Amino acid sequence: MNFIPAKVPPSKNTGLAFWFAFRNDELLVKMADERTIIPYINDLSSFNLKPVRTQYIGTLDERPCYSAELKKDVQAPEGMSFHGLRQIFVPLGDDLFRIAGRAIQIMKWDQNHQFCGRCGNSTETVHTEHAKVCVKCGLRCYPRLSPATITAVIKGKRILLAHAGRFPSKLYSVIAGFTESGETLEECVKREIMEEVGIEVKNIRYFGSQPWPFPDSLMVAFTAEYAGGKIFIDKNEITDAGWFSADDLPGIPDKVSIARRLIDWFVANY
């Protein structure tokens, strides 16, 4: 699949398009043979649906794609259903998950910035970019991105994994946390691991990144080596943590997440 992001919609009506339409946080899809099909239609009136707002987000294999916000109480058309992205990321597949994640973030930004956060007046959409500008004071708002670090800490032949209270039971993962204002990503890695499990790290190296639309994170992944300290559980977010070898891992996250890619990297290399 070849997705090309864009902000300016085609000048003339191009007919059929992919519609990533959301009711609250749920995407309208058709489930067929364990696959997830995104509606490819002229517009949402094909389903007798009237969107609250729409945004053009680019082309998928040269076909236009739109995000749309639906009313909170709409029913799914015959043969279709609404699903949270987390529930369907396996049948969606990596490519469609990425596009749907972009679509929901653009939709939410459009929904959440109808009024200026500084003076309270209405905003207008800037049509050459994804931006909203206040008609009175000129404040500009772009879709929000919240960078977070996620780190595989290695000690000898073992990896540091933790269980957070918000995780499903038995699931363990690498340590993650949001970057604070004024902080470098490397400082964030060190602070989060110290705060959550009391461990010092060194040799922090970039691994990769992943947009994570729950609701607007950019996960920036690192590897690091243990440098000192004993595991100390903060009990706020983390309820258990330990060092695990590749042949004795607990329950770990799904394939789609960069957390899992870090753990798979550890298994392949240690």
* Least distance to Zn ion, CB of residue 122, Å: 9
* Least distance to Zn ion, CB of residue 126, Å: 14
* Least distance to Zn ion, CB of residue 135, Å: 8
Write out the two tokens for 27: 């995407």
Number of residues that bind Zn ion (CB under 5 A): 8
The contact mask relative to Zn ion for 122-161 (x = CB under 5 A, - = no) is: ------------x-xx-x----------------------
Strand ranges (DSSP E) for the chain?
3-5, 17-23, 26-32, 35-37, 40-41, 53-60, 63-70, 81-84, 123-126, 131-134, 140-141, 146-155, 158-164, 175-178, 200-212, 217-228, 238-245
Rank residues 64 and 143 by Cβ distance to Zn ion and give the closer one: 143
Stretch that binds Zn ion, among 39-47, 75-83, 120-128, 226-234 (CB under 5 A): 120-128
Q: Among residue numbers 31 through 90, which ones bind Zn ion (CB under 5 A)? A: none
- The residue from 100, 116, 162, 221 that contacts Zn ion (CB under 5 A) is 116
The C-alpha R_g of the chain, in whole angstroms, comes to 21
* Residues with Cβ within 8 Å of residue 81, at least 6 apart in sequence: 28, 29, 30, 31
- Judged by CB under 5 A, does residue 119 bind Zn ion? yes
Distance CA 111, CA 105 (A): 10
Rank residues 52 and 137 by Cβ distance to Zn ion and give the closer one: 137
* Least distance to Zn ion, CB of residue 123, Å: 8
Residues that bind Zn ion (CB under 5 A): 116, 118-119, 121, 134, 136-137, 139
